[in-house]
Chains A and B, each alone.
Chain A
Amino acid sequence: MIRLEQINRSFEVGDETVHALRDVDLDLATGDYISIMGPSGSGKSTLLNILGLLDQPDSGHYYLDGTDTTTLNETDQAVARRDNIGFVFQSFHLIPRLTAAQNVELPLILAGIDPNQRSERVTRALELMGLTDRAKHRPDQLSGGQRQRVAIARATIMQPALLLADEPTGNLDKHSGDEVIQTLEQLNSQGITLVVVTHDPDIGGRAARTIRMVDGAIVGNHPRPPADGTP
């Protein structure tokens, strides 16, 4: 479903050139669950941005469902983002003046979907996240875990094939973080491709595959060791 070939991305920081990604190759099949781990500055967020079409590589190719996205113009990339990719951010990125339901509705509005259909889908998405009674609340009236679940509802309302989560538990306590991770994994078990960027080894270790990055290069690509079922 996703194929990265020889992706390079560098930034100019002052006089220096920082290579955020060096010759990155990556293959993801539909329904995969991977985590990207590594120290800060290792390029994991840049990789996620490239996967999410928020950033463009300097060289290399990114095939999404067989389409070479590096040839798309900005508008087509926006549409591809809208229809295929959901984002979950560390700081939630909910719009403070809008209610939970309105925040979840936003992607549908951007996609120009009919209002009657929208409210139905929003209700269902909030229900799935167990937030039905919070629909009319603004983000500042919600707990951190609830906010992140609103954000997940928003990320999945367009039924994307790919869900990208950037430190989804970074601003949450252990309990809410676990809930959020379980929610994401549940979505993955229903067939969505899930990519989680984290530096928490507990969370990273839960993925079927863990990618380790150092200085912009992938240094390890490990499938999860078989679950230790025996005592």
Chain B
Amino acid sequence: MKLADAFGFGVMALTGARSRTWLMLLAMAIGVASVVVLTALGEGARRYVANEFSSLGSHLIIVIPGKVETTGETPPMVGGTARDLTLEDALAVERSSAIRLIAPLTLGAAPISYKQRERDITVMGSTAALMPVRNLELARGKFLPEADPTRENAIAVIGDKLKKELFGNKRALGEWVRIHDRRFRVIGILKPLGESLGMDMGDIAIVPVASAQSLFNTEGLFRVLVQAEGREAVPRAKQAVIDIIKKRHDDEEDITVITQDALLSTFDGIFRSLTYTVSGIASISLAVAGILIMNVMLVSVSQRTAEIGLLKALGGRREEIMRLFLIEAGLLSAAGSAIGIAIAYSGIWIMGQLYPEFPLIIPLWSLAAALGISLFTGLLFGILPARRAARLDPVVALAGR
């Protein structure tokens, strides 16, 4: 029997029993579609987080005061109080050749008011370098000017949301606002950027770092953002930061240095395993579809006993009959997968229309995996009915018993 004829015969047999065929196709399609959609969701979540991190800025190193130990040792009973990370520390770090820019960061909450309106907001103290380091963009005006970071200056850059709330549609540039008990002149307004790692950049005011320090009466910095010379320079820059600060802090390593890559790869790993888990769970539905195919094929074999007997009487060999039924199972799986993939693509498209900011992409490996698993289960669970058909005694089968 030629292979093309065997396929033709399988197609005829499947189209001859419509409802049975549709039932099996549906089961396979749901299985495949759920694997593909869930994988796309997991992959989308991973990409979303990765995008969030890259919006932080490139080649970024974050320096945090205090040592975060992850070794699980009991902390020492005496000493070990973290030294403040000061502006001088930050400026010292900038001298390393591996480092392009640093942006010291002081953070605090304070009321801001303009005429009768008052809001509680986050005040960030930093330098001109914050703009390139954090990829900030201005809607209007200027950012903090290049100046001696240790000098106070009564100027502020505000977020777009804050501008609307305080000034409405009126001009904000050049106006004086009051933060806590000091007056600042608005020199720039940020472009709407949305949220960046949980901090609403629309609802902040950025002032020179020295002004913020005296505003909150603190010497310590909240963070130092360091931009390395390039991607390759990141490890060198990290080491330089540690060396310089350690020297300045009496040989005590009391800072934590986080590179963006490390953070990114951690989250990447988490989301990747999440995706695998979810698609693994979804592939259980494929196994269920396989079992359904087996059951329905077994029913089909017993309903077609006389036909199998006839095929044997006409000279059909055992392996030919086995192959016919396996081809039927394979065709069912393949057609079911095709329908499932179509369902998955349209589902993803609809979700993409509803949530355009969430990056939903069907990874190729998930398509291949879903197809592979469905064909595999279809054939695996097709073996039992096919063997039963092939082993029928022709005399008994022809008698229809």
Determine if chain A interacts with chain B.
Answer: yes
Which residues of chain A have a CB within 8 Å of any CB of chain B?
A: 49, 52, 54-55, 74-75, 78-79, 81-83, 87, 89, 93, 95-98, 102, 106-107, 109-112, 115, 154, 158
- Nearest CB in chain A to that of B14: its residue: A97
From A78, A87, A89, A95, contact of B307 by CB (8 A): A95
Flag if B398 contacts A78 (CB, 8 Å): no
Give CA–CA (A81, B315) in the complex, Å.
5
Flag if A78 contacts B13 (CB, 8 Å): no
From A49, A55, A110, A112, contact of B314 by CB (8 A): A110
Flag if A75 contacts B394 (CB, 8 Å): no
Flag if B310 contacts A110 (CB, 8 Å): no
Which residues of chain B have a CB within 8 Å of any CB of chain A?
A: 1-2, 5, 9, 12-13, 15-17, 306-307, 309-320, 394-395, 398
Given contacts A75-B318, A78-B315, A82-B315, contact A109 B398 (CB under 8 A): no
Can you report 6 residue pairs joining A to B where beta carbons are below 8 Å apart? A54-B394, A75-B319, A110-B316, A110-B320, A112-B1, A154-B314
Give CA–CA (A82, B315) in the complex, Å.
4
Flag if A98 contacts B320 (CB, 8 Å): no
Give CA–CA (A113, B191) in the complex, Å.
75
Interface residue SS majority, chain B: helix
Contacts of A54 in B (CB 8 A): 312-313, 394-395, 398
Question: Total number of A-B contacts with CB less than 8 angstroms?
Answer: 69
From A52, A82, A93, A115, contact of B310 by CB (8 A): A93
Give CA–CA (A110, B316) in the complex, Å.
6
Flag if B318 contacts A95 (CB, 8 Å): no
Flag if A109 contacts B12 (CB, 8 Å): no
Flag if B318 contacts A79 (CB, 8 Å): no
Q: A75-B317, A93-B310 are in contact. List 4 more A-B contacts (CB 8 A).
A: A79-B315, A93-B309, A97-B17, A98-B12
Flag if B307 contacts A81 (CB, 8 Å): no
Contacts of B310 in A (CB 8 A): 93, 95
Give CA–CA (A79, B314) in the complex, Å.
9
Give CA–CA (A230, B306) in the complex, Å.
48
Flag if A110 contacts B311 (CB, 8 Å): yes
Flag if A52 contacts B313 (CB, 8 Å): yes
Minimum Cβ distance to chain A for residue B107 (Å):
76
Contacts of B316 in A (CB 8 A): 78, 82, 110
From A78, A83, A154, contact of B317 by CB (8 A): A78
Minimum Cβ distance to chain A for residue B382 (Å):
20
From B12, B312, B315, contact of A111 by CB (8 A): B315
Give CA–CA (A78, B321) in the complex, Å.
12
Contacts of B16 in A (CB 8 A): 96-97
Given contacts A75-B317, A82-B315, A93-B310, contact A55 B395 (CB under 8 A): yes
Given contacts A54-B394, A109-B1, contact A83 B315 (CB under 8 A): yes
Flag if A93 contacts B318 (CB, 8 Å): no
Flag if A110 contacts B395 (CB, 8 Å): no
Flag if B314 contacts A81 (CB, 8 Å): yes
Minimum Cβ distance to chain A for residue B252 (Å):
84
Give CA–CA (A112, B316) in the complex, Å.
11
Flag if B306 contacts A93 (CB, 8 Å): yes
Give CA–CA (A154, B311) in the complex, Å.
12
Flag if B314 contacts A107 (CB, 8 Å): yes
Contacts of A96 in B (CB 8 A): 16
Minimum Cβ distance to chain A for residue B201 (Å):
67
Flag if B13 contacts A87 (CB, 8 Å): no
Give CA–CA (A146, B314) in the complex, Å.
20
Give CA–CA (A81, B9) in the complex, Å.
21
Flag if A109 contacts B315 (CB, 8 Å): no
Give CA–CA (A75, B322) in the complex, Å.
13
- Nearest CB in chain B to that of A92: its residue: B310
Contacts of A74 in B (CB 8 A): 317-318
Give CA–CA (A95, B311) in the complex, Å.
10
Give CA–CA (A106, B310) in the complex, Å.
10
Given contacts A55-B395, A110-B1, contact A79 B317 (CB under 8 A): yes
Contacts of A78 in B (CB 8 A): 312, 315-318
Minimum Cβ distance to chain B for residue A155 (Å):
9
- Listed residue (A93, A96, A98) with the most chain B CB atoms within 10 angstroms of its CB: A93
Flag if B13 contacts A107 (CB, 8 Å): no
Contacts of A106 in B (CB 8 A): 311, 314
Flag if A97 contacts B318 (CB, 8 Å): no
Contacts of A107 in B (CB 8 A): 314-315
Minimum Cβ distance to chain A for residue B314 (Å):
5
Contacts of B314 in A (CB 8 A): 81-82, 87, 106-107, 110, 154
- Listed residue (B16, B307, B317) with the most chain A CB atoms within 10 angstroms of its CB: B317
